[in-house]
């Protein structure tokens, strides 16, 4: 197999490199608008591998459209 741009390419196909997904898994809960947008950019890089990514990400996308971005724990 070959590692390339955060993916593993092999005869079985293309999949995300688990080592690169650590940044997505360990990203802190965004509490500010810029951090929310940064996380969306990071996670959307792997959207082709996440079933229903648009549906899953829509609540956070909607928050980035608000002028009062806030996540409640």
Query: How many domains does the chain contain in total?
Result: 1
**Torsions phi, psi for 4 (to 5 deg):** -150, 120
Query: Does the pLDDT value for residue 68 go beyond 80?
Result: no
Residue 57 lies in a domain: yes
**Whole-angstrom distance, CA of residue 41 vs CA of residue 25:** 14
Residue 1 lies in a domain: no
pTM of the model: 0.76
Give the pLDDT confidence score for residue 31 in this predicted structure: 84
Please give the span between the terminal C-alpha atoms of the chain, in angstroms, as a whole number.
Answer: 41
Cα separation values, 49 from 17, 29, 53, 68, Å? 11, 21, 8, 31
**Whole-angstrom distance, CA of residue 50 vs CA of residue 71:** 23
Query: Does the pLDDT value for residue 69 go beyond 90?
Result: no
Residue 63 lies in a domain: yes
């Amino acid at each position: 197999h070959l590692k390339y741009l955060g993916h593993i390419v092999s005869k079985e196909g293309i999949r995300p490199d688990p080592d690169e997904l650590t940044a997505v898994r360990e990203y802190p809960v965004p509490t500010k608008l810029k951090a929310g947008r940064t996380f969306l950019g990071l996670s959307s890089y792997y959207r082709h591998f996440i079933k229903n990514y648009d549906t899953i990400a829509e609540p956070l996308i909607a928050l980035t459209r608000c002028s009062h971005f806030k996540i409640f724990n």
